[in-house]
Structure 1
């Protein structure tokens, strides 16, 4: 008797602020037994170093498999390589624009394009504020193609006491959206619930 294949999650990291979300997704993925496939852009590496003090090798050790952005021949560049979903965390406006217009000029944007064409979940944790009209139009275009736009906006109704709690809750919500078994976002129980 063979066991079921391990669930695969592709994670992309770009140069927008919010590298902590990707790190949490990678670590939580390991806890849940996911096979994670990581692509980090050069700007994503700079940002992870600035925000988390992590080098590329340190960040890549958190994943099951890692790929260079220029490695367009990697397995995740093909729809024949089955994955549960892809999350871009954080997603820069440049990457959003590439996804919205099918511009697969590197492995991250190619993998996103593959995710969409195979009708799999693509979750874009967009990070920018305020949005200009190009940003909004690109979000609409990506949504029309099946992507989920997920700005990691904190939920304060659970009374978080740390940045870590805010990051963790957003990561759990993303994992649930990706269809990952075992994701545990906090459910809103209503104003009269005792939480």
Structure 2
């Protein structure tokens, strides 16, 4: 929108017939006064030309900022969301999540992963955070004959749930819990899951 507006302003300024002798306020421009007095000019170009140059530079700057922003956003998500491979890395992340800013940042980044529905968003977020081998060591409540760790008792559980709910406004806590439980249950059978 801004680019269209600035482009039309640039076109308008190039096509306009502003008198080089008078500025916007009806005063003689410094260049005109110096031409008559043969003095050095404080402003080497007319007001109209100056406006065209400045608006052109502004359009170029806006385009460059947008280009850089797109690249940073795509690269940042990959680098900032860790893929946890073992319980030690999970425990380190759990410690970092005690900081409210770190927690909010991770929720924000994971919500951007998104998905076409609640289950898809949950699966994609969990796959971004964990390897299948690590997920295979969890279930929602813990225990069982394989002595699995309780995912529901981790800080990451709450972060994943919040991210899914933020990414899909129709998501409920119980629907996200079911999707997480199912994804953890299927982890041993997926590539790298280890068959726990």
**TM-score relative to the length of structure 1:** 0.25
* Greater strand share, structure number: 1
The higher radius of gyration belongs to: 2
Structure with more helix by fraction: 2
